[in-house]
Chains A and B, each alone.
Chain A
C-alpha cells in the first residue's frame, strides 16, 4: 500500500482534509512535522493548504526555508509524486520546484467559491483518471492565487504541456487562466483549487477523488518524462 506524507507547518489548516482524502483514496497517510529532516519511507508528499507561518511576509516564504523543504526537494528529485494545494502550491513555487509565483488576487479580496475548472492535461500521473478537457468542480479559497509568470516561462509551460488545470471563469486574474501546473518531469503538481474538498456529492462535488486515486495507483515506472 502507498504511504504518503502530509506535511504540517504551523498554520497549515487543510492538513486533516488532505490526510482524509489520501485515506479515502486507499492510501496510507501520516502527518510529518515541518522540522523533520527526512521523508524516507514515504511514496509521495502532500503539502496542504492553509496559512503556513501566518502567510506573514509572503505566502509560503517561511515554509520555504523550513527544515522539511530539503526533504521535499529530495523526494521530488527521486521522482516521487509531490502535490501542493493552495498554500502548498505557493510553497512549491517559493522553493523553486515549480516556476512562477502566486500574487494577490486582482480584486485584492479573498475568494471562496465552487470553481468550474478544465483538465488541460489528462496525461499526468495525477490526472489520468480524467478526460482531456473535462470540466470539474473543485472549491477555491485563497487571497493570493493569481498565477504570475513571465512570457518565456509561459511559453515553456505550454511547450512542455505543463498546464494541468485552468479556470473556466478566472477568479483571481491568473495568467491565461492557469489554476495548476506540473514540473517538466511530471511528478510535482501545484494547484490553487482544493480537490480534497471535492470528495463527496453531499458536500457539493466528488470530482476531486479521482486525483487522489490516480496518485495512489501510481507506480515508479509510469513516470512520464516530457
Chain B
C-alpha cells in the first residue's frame, strides 16, 4: 500500500489525465513504448514536463538548428545552462536570456523576480560571477489600467530581486504595443565573468558519486509551471495562481556565494540549477549528459511541509535550489560548506552505472525511467507554415502635420525616457558600471582589469511582423549596432523567441522565416548564438502577440579608459550615416497613423551593416568621433529628440530628405557626434548640437520646438501615465 494516494495507471489511461498535463494521445503511447508498460502518476508527470515546449523545444528545435553556434571565441555553445565566450587572459564571459512571460502575466512581481533569479542561477551554475543584468519588456499601452499594474509589478519584481542579490541592472528596453495586452513579455538576461578553467557542466558521472540538494526547502510551488509556460493564457490562467513560484533573493544570494565557493572544489563533478521542472529536469539532464543513471531517495529531500508526494517533489518549482554531484566520500565537506552559509542541504541520491532514473521514497520505487529516451526521444513536430500575402499599401505621410507626429512619438512611452523604470534598479552595485541604464548599452568593467563588457538587448517585433525574414535579420543587426556604439567588438549572442501558438500556420511561418533571417545575420555579423530560450503560445484572449524574437548580445572593450571624460556638448557637429529610404512598414509613424502593420518587404544589406559598424566602432575607440547613436524606432526625428533631451542639448539640423522621411525606419543608419568637417564614410554632416532650441529642417517641412518642450515630453512619457492610483 503506497504512502501517497494518487491516480492509478488505469485512471491515467481511462481519464486521460496525461492530457491535463499537456501530453497528446500519441505522446502518451510513446511513453508506453519507452517504458514497455503503462506509466504511473509520477512517471507521466516527469514525461509531461520534460516533453513540454519549455524543456524539449518540440516545435522549435528545427529552427534553432539553423543558428551558427561556433566561432573562434566560443568556448561552450548551447546545451548547457548558458554560453561561454573567451575574452582573453584566461577569462570568459557567460550569458543567457530567458523568458518569464506567463508567470509575469499571472503575478507580475513574483513572475519577474523569479525570472531574474532563474537566469542568475543559470550563469552561476556554469561557475561565473554575474556582473550585469538586462531585461526586455513588452506591455500593452499604458492607457489601460491593467498594463500599468503589470508594469509596476514587473519593474518592482525585477528590482526587488536584482537589487537584493546585488547584481547591477545596467540596460534594458521596453516597448508598449496593444499586441501585448494581457500577455506581457518579461525576458531577463544575465552576464557573468569567470576563468576558463572553472567552467562547469551539468553532468552526473561516476557510479557511487553522491547527489546533493542545496537551497530552499521544497514546497508545492509552481507544480506544472513548465507546462503552464507552454500553454495559451486563458481566463483559466487566473485560477492557476498557485502555479506561480515565490522568489527569495536573500537565499538566492547565499546560494550564489556558496555555489561559487563549491565550484572551487576539485571534488565537484557537476552542478545544475533546479529551474523549470525543478528536480526532474536537473536530475535527468545531468544523468543524460553524464551517460549514467541516478537513484534519488526522495524522503531525504528537505521539505517545507509534510506529505509532499514524489510526483509533487519532482515537479515542484520551488526557487533558489541547486543540484550537485560530488565525488563519493567528499559529501560531508560540501554539506559543511553549505551549513556555514546557513543553507539547507542534503545528500539525496547517487550516480549509478545503469541508464535509469530511479526514484525511491522510503524504499518504495516510484519511478523507473530510462534516462536517454526521456531527453532524446522527446517528440519533435514539424508543421506546415503559411506565409501571409504581402500587401500593396502605399505609405504617404506627406500631408500629415509632422510637428504633431513628432510630439506624439517623442512623448510616447516606447520612445520616452525610461527613468521611471531604471531608477528602481540598482545600476551600480559592484562599482564597475561604466555605462548604466538610460541611453544605450550597459558597460561593466571586468574587475581588476582595463577590459569591459558591453551588453545590449533588443527586439523589433513590428519589423518581424511586416517581414519575418528580413525583420529577423534586423533584430540581430539592431543589437549589433547597440554594441558597436559602445566601441566594443561584438562577440556572440543569445536569443529568446517569443511567439504565438506554433499550431497557427501564420505564426509557424513567422518562426520559420524570422529564424532563417536571424541565422543569416548571425553569420554575416560574426555573432554566433551561444544560448537561448523559446516561449511559444503567447496569446491573449483575442490574438497572438507580434512575433517577438529578442536578442541579447555582448561585446568586448579591450581598454575602457578611452571613455573617461568622453562627452558631447554644444557646438559639436551631427552626422547622419546611411541612406534614408521610404521604409514605413513596421514603423512607429505607421502605428500612430494607420494603426496596423503592413506586410511588406523590409531591406537590409548585412555586409554593409558589418563593415559600417566596425568602421564606426574603430573611430570611436580612436577618439575620432565622440558618440554613436543607432537609429531605430521613430527614425531620425525621435533619435534627435532622445539625444537632445537626455543630454540637455539643443539641435539645429537640416536634412536633404522629404519631411515624412524623418520618421522612416530603414536599417543600418546612425547619428554621429564629432568635430565638424570629418570625413566619415556614407555620412553627411547635418548640423550642430546647440545650447537651446530644437529644429530639424527638411526639403518640405520643418520640426521646430523649444528644447524644454522636447525634454518635458520625453521625460514625462511614462510618469504622465503612471500618476493615477490604480
Contacts and interface: CB of A to CB of B under 8 A. Distances in A.
Contact of B434 (A10, A13, A16, A202): A202
B149 interface: no
A141 interface: yes
A68 interface: no
Given A51-B249, A54-B250, A196 B563 contact: no
A194 B163 CA distance: 14
Which of B253, B341, B425 has the largest number of chain A CB atoms within 10 A? B253
Nearest to A53: B250
A156 interface: no
Nearest to A10: B254
A10 B431 contact: no
B429 A13 contact: yes
B371 to A, nearest CB: 37
Given A111-B423, A194-B428, A202-B560, A54 B163 contact: no
B166 interface: yes
A118 interface: no
Interface in A1-39: 10-11, 13-14, 16-17, 20-21
A17 B156 contact: no
Which of B424, B429, B561 has the largest number of chain A CB atoms within 10 A? B429
Contacts of B159: 109-110
B251 to A, nearest CB: 8
Contacts of A51: 163-164, 166, 249-250, 253
B342 A10 contact: yes
Contact of A197 (B253, B342, B428): B428
A115 B433 CA distance: 16
Contacts of A20: 431
Contacts of B430: 16-17
A55 B164 contact: yes
B454 to A, nearest CB: 14
A113 interface: yes
Contacts of A109: 156, 159, 424
A110 B250 contact: no
A8 to B, nearest CB: 10
B424 A111 contact: yes
A17 B431 contact: yes
Nearest to A139: B428
Interface residues of B, number: 34
Contacts of B251: 54
B317 interface: no
Interface in A104-138: 109-113
A197 B249 CA distance: 22
A141 B250 contact: no
A111 to B, nearest CB: 6
A110 B163 contact: yes
A201 B564 contact: yes
Interface in B425-442: 425-434
Given A10-B253, A51-B250, A203 B164 contact: no
A17 B163 CA distance: 15
B565 interface: yes
Contacts of B561: 202
A88 interface: no
A203 B250 contact: no
Contact of B431 (A11, A50, A201, A203): A203
Contacts of A197: 428-429, 431
Interface string B258-278: 000000000000000000000
B165 interface: yes
A141 B564 contact: no
B248 A54 contact: yes
Nearest to B560: A202
Chain A facing B: main interface SS: mixed
Instruction: Bin chain A's interface residue count.
Output: 20 to 34
A112 B428 contact: yes
Interface in B322-365: 341-342
A203 B560 contact: no
B431 A196 contact: yes
Interface string B413-428: 0000000001111111
A202 B563 contact: yes
Interface string B640-670: 0000000000000000000000000000000
Contacts of B429: 13-14, 17, 49, 141, 197
Which of A50, A53, A112, A197 has the largest number of chain B CB atoms within 10 A? A112
B426 A141 contact: yes
B565 A203 contact: no
Contacts of B422: 112
A199 interface: yes
B342 A11 contact: no
A13 B428 contact: no
Given A51-B164, A112-B428, A202-B564, A11 B253 contact: yes
Contacts of A204: 428
B423 A54 contact: no
Interface in B132-179: 156, 159-160, 163-166
A129 to B, nearest CB: 20
B319 to A, nearest CB: 13
B100 to A, nearest CB: 20
Nearest to B563: A202
Contacts of A11: 164, 250, 253-254
B560 A112 contact: no
A197 B436 CA distance: 13
B648 to A, nearest CB: 14
Interface string B239-257: 0000000001111011000
B700 to A, nearest CB: 42
B124 to A, nearest CB: 14
Nearest to A114: B428
Contacts of A56: 250
Nearest to B430: A17
Given A139-B427, A201-B564, 17 more contacts: A10-B341, A11-B164, A14-B429, A17-B431, A50-B166, A51-B163, A51-B253, A56-B250, A109-B424, A110-B426, A112-B426, A112-B428, A113-B423, A143-B163, A197-B428, A202-B434, A203-B434
14 contacts: A11-B164, A11-B253, A13-B429, A51-B250, A51-B253, A53-B250, A54-B164, A54-B248, A109-B159, A110-B425, A197-B431, A201-B565, A203-B431, A203-B434
> Which A-B residue pairs are the 4 nearest by beta carbons?
A13-B166, A54-B250, A17-B431, A141-B426
